[in-house]
Chains A and B, each alone.
Chain A
C-alpha cells in the first residue's frame, strides 16, 4: 500500500511539474519543412527549457483554419508561420504583434535578411519599416525534371532533330512546352509518360499560383504603378491574356490524365510515380525530391523560365507572434533564437529555406545542394499575389475564373481576366480602397 501511495505521489508531482513547464504552441502547414523545424526546435528547448508544441494543418485547410483562429481572436497559437499574403490582414486587423521595438531591443536587423523576403514576409504597408514577422521560410515556385530521361542519348538526339536545340533546362516557356509535348504520351521503359504536372487545384490557391508563374514571366502587372488599384490594361493586358492562353495549352497538351484538381501533393505524386517529365512545385519540396531519387530516377531543378521577363511566383512565410497569445514573451524568445545566424545555418542544413544573408551569401551556398543556385536565382525575381487584408476575397474569384477557363475550357482568357477585375473592383470598393 505504501509503495502504491509513493507511486501515486510521484506521478502526481511529475504531472504538476509538467503542467507548470513553460510551453508555447506554433502553428504551420503540414509539410516537409515543418518536420525540419520540429527537429531544429529541439535545440531551443534544450537551451531555454521552453517546450514548443506544434500544430501542423494540411495545406488545403491551412488558410481556413488559421484565419478563422485569428478572426476569432483565438489563443491556440503563440507563434504562427503564416503565408506571405496574410501579412496585410495580420497588421491591419491587429492579429500580429508589431516587432519593431523588439527587434531594436534585441539587435535584430532586417538588413541581415534577404531584401526580397523582408519585403514579402515582414512588412506592412509593403516596403515600409513596419515589421510584423521575421522571414522564416523563403520559397518560390520552381520546376523539377527527370534528368535521367533527359540524359538518354536516343531521346537527346531525337529531340534535337525535331526542335533544333538541345534537350535540357528550358530557356523559356516555349521550350518548356516543346519538351513537355515531346514526353507527352511517350513510352519509356515500357510505361506511358506525360509532359508536366502543373497546378490546377480549384479549392484554395493552386491554379492561381500556377498561372501567375506564366503571367509574371509574360510581364503581367496587377495594377498601374502610378495609380494603385487601377487594373484595367495591366492585369488583363495582351501579355497577361497570352500567358493564360499558354497555361491552358500546357494543361491540355502536357498534363497527365486526371490532373484537373492538382496542387503540391498531386504534382509530387505524379512525378514520383514516374508519370511526368516535369513537375511545378515549391522549393520546399526539393530536399525531399532530391533525397528520394532512387530506382534510376535522377532529378534536376531549375527556376521558373523567363518569357518576356524573368520572374517567379513567391511562396514562403514569415514567423509572427499572435497578438491574442498570453505567452508573447516566450514566443518572442523563440523568434530571438530563430534569428541567430548559427540557427539559420542549421535551418538550411536540415532542409528549411533560410532567408538570412549569412547563409545565402556564404561562398559554399550555391553548391550546397543541386537546387541552391535555383533558389538564389528565384529569390531575386519573385513576385507575389495581392497581400491586401482582403487577399482571400481576391483569391477566390481568380481561382474560379481561371479554373473555368483553363480546366473547364469555358470562355476566353480575356473574358476570365475581365471577370476577375470586375470582382476585384467590388472587393476594393467594399474595403474603401476605390
Chain B
C-alpha cells in the first residue's frame, strides 16, 4: 500500500499531528509530567528516601523557607557573579576572535578548528584536567602566570578569592568558541556592499565597525549569550569536578546546592520548591531577554 493511499482521507492537520505526536508524547512524559509532579511535590514535606512515609500538604512553607534562607541567596549571588563574568568575557573574546577569523589569512581554517576544540570536550573531563593545571606545585597555569609575573605559590582552587575566578576562566576557555562561531556566522552574513558604500562615504574603520559590523552581529551575539546564560545558570558538572563547590561554599552554584538538597539530603518537597523558583527565574529572565533581543532585531 503506498504512503499516499494509506494517508488518503486524513486531513493535513491530522497528518501533522501524526508526525509531531510521538515528540509531543515524549515531551509530555519526560518534561511536562515531571514538571507538574515537581510543582505538586513542592507543596508537600515529601522525602524520597523515607519509604512508607506519606507526604503531607504544607502549603507555601517550602517556598517561604527557600526564599528566607540566607544560604540560598549566597548561592544565587555566586551563580549571578559566575554568569556575569563568563558572559561578559565570552562576549568580548568571542567577538574579538570572530573578527580575527573573519579575515582571510593562511592557516585560518586550522586555527578555527584548534580554537573550537575545547568546546568538544566533556565538561567533567575539562573539570578534572584543570584541577591538574591549577595545581600550585606542578600546574601549568601557575607556571605560566609565574613566568610572566612572579606571584609565588598560589592556589586557584583552595582560595576563596581565586576559586570563583578559577571556574570563570575554565568556562570562558571552554565556551568562548561557541560565541565566536555564532558571531562568525553573523559577520559572514553582512553584505559586502555595505562596507563598499561606507568606503565611498569615507567612513573610518572604527565607524564601519560601530555602524555596520556591530549592529549586524549584535542579534547573533545576543542569541549566543542567551544559550550560554541558560547553560551557565544550570552549570553543574565542570564545577563539581573542579572545586566541588568549595572552598567552603565559595563556588557552590544554585544547581549544585539543588542537587545536594534533592539527591543527597533527599529533601524532595523543599528541593522541588527550590527547583520551581529556579525554573521561574530563568524562564522569566529568558522571556524578557528574548523580547529585548527581538526589539534590537527590529531596529
User: Which residues of A pack against B, CB within 8 Å?
Assistant: 64, 67-68, 71, 89, 93-94, 201-203, 256-261, 275, 392-393, 396, 400-401, 403-405, 407-410, 427, 430
Contact = CB atoms under 8 A, between A and B. Distances in A.
Contacts of B281: none
Interface in B45-77: 45, 47-51
A260 B155 contact: yes
B247 A64 contact: no
B265 A258 contact: no
Contact of A93 (B49, B137, B160): B49
Given A401-B248, A404-B248, A407-B158, 7 more contacts: A68-B263, A93-B50, A94-B51, A256-B137, A261-B157, A407-B247, A430-B267
Contact of A408 (B49, B51, B247): B247
Contacts of A400: 248-249, 252
Contact of A261 (B51, B139, B244): B244
Contacts of A67: 49
A261 B160 CA distance: 13
Nearest to A393: B265
Contacts of A260: 155, 157-159, 246-247
A89 B49 contact: yes
Contact of A392 (B50, B248, B266): B266
Contact of A202 (B49, B139, B246): B246
B68 to A, nearest CB: 13
B250 interface: yes
Contacts, number: 89
Nearest to B153: A257
B248 A407 contact: yes
B158 A258 contact: yes
B50 A408 contact: no
Contacts of A71: 48-49, 51, 266
B135 interface: yes
Contacts of B159: 260
B264 A408 contact: no
Contact of A257 (B51, B137, B244): B137
Contact of B249 (A256, A404, A430): A404
A409 B135 CA distance: 20
A207 to B, nearest CB: 9
Q: Closest 3 interchain pairs by CB?
A: A260-B158, A404-B248, A408-B248
Contact of A396 (B51, B153, B264): B264
B240 interface: yes
B245 interface: yes
B131 to A, nearest CB: 8
Contacts of B249: 400, 404, 408
Nearest to A401: B248
Contacts of B139: 258
A94 B51 CA distance: 8
Q: Which of B50, B246, B265 lies at the interface centre, i.e. has the most chain A CB atoms within 10 A of its CB?
A: B246
A403 B163 CA distance: 14
B264 A392 contact: yes
B48 A403 contact: no
A396 B136 CA distance: 27
A407 B246 contact: yes
B63 to A, nearest CB: 17
B188 interface: no
